[in-house]
């Protein structure tokens, strides 16, 4: 079910990954010796929260308050003791914090977020409640999301080269493809689950969010 990888996120994974890298761009000019680790860590941090896609998505690994607090502390440490480890930790946490916070700016957890039926954007562990989606971006794979990915890619393509440039270009390709097919993916997901659900092991079915099996699910 890997085709469902980005389904029901507020922004595409490429958008989050590129945003994490953009956070690290100042390091290229201020401390170029740490630029590779900062860019890689920003990318990783931008991706990290969505590893909970099939396990309590936008709750298990999304910490808008705690990631932000940890990132602030890690940045202070990196400024005081600049090493590859401290710089990498700072930008990984910063990327994860940005991802978690900006998930509130898109759509909800519904399978078809353009319908606007969910009141859950991202879980606030500090306050113990779900944050309501603002829907400023629309939804993952929306035209606005694709535009955001493209805008984030511009300063990166101007500044970085080598493997990082390839990563940015690959992210853009994935973003364009995903945005093109985004609105047909929910129907495809439902049909595949309906078609093959009976033969899938119970342990696999248990990991599928209810939104893939029935409308109105928000897990």
In angstroms, rounded to a whole number, what is the distance separating the alpha carbons of residues 34 and 87?
A: 7
pLDDT in tens, 164-177: 999 999 999 999 99
Give the pLDDT confidence of 37-60 residue by residue, as tens digits.
999 999 999 999 999 988 888 999
* Cα distances (angstroms) measured from residue 100 to each of 64, 80, 125, 204, 214: 5, 26, 11, 26, 26
Confidence of residue 1 (pLDDT cuts 50, 70, 90): very low
Q: How far apart are CA 113 and CA 106, in angstroms?
A: 9
pLDDT-wise least confident of 87-91, 145-149, 206-210: 206-210
Question: Who's near 33: CB < 8 A, 6+ residues apart?
Answer: none
What is the tens place of the pLDDT at every residue in 106-150?
989 888 999 999 999 999 999 999 999 999 998 999 999 999 999
């Amino acid at each position: 079910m890997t085709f469902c990888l980005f389904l029901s996120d507020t922004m595409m994974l490429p958008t989050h990954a590129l945003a994490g890298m953009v956070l690290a761009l100042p390091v290229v000019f201020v401390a170029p010796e740490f630029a590779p680790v900062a860019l890689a860590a920003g990318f990783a941090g931008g991706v990290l929260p969505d590893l909970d896609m099939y396990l309590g998505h936008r709750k298990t690994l999304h910490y808008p308050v705690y990631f932000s607090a940890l990132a602030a502390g890690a940045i202070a440490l990196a400024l005081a003791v600049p090493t590859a480890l401290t710089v990498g930790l700072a930008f990984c946490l910063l990327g994860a914090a940005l991802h978690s916070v900006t998930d509130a700016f898109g759509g909800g957890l519904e399978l078809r977020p353009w319908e606007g039926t969910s009141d859950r954007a991202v879980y606030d562990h500090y306050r113990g409640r779900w944050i309501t989606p603002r829907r400023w971006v629309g939804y993952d794979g929306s035209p606005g999301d694709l535009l955001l990915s493209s805008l984030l890619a511009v300063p990166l393509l101007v500044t970085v080269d080598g493997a990082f440039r390839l990563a940015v270009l690959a992210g853009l390709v994935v973003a364009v493809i995903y945005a093109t097919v985004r609105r047909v993916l929910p129907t495809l997901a439902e049909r595949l689950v309906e078609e093959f659900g009976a033969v899938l092991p119970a342990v696999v079915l248990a990991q599928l969010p209810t939104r893939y099996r029935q409308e109105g699910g928000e897990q």
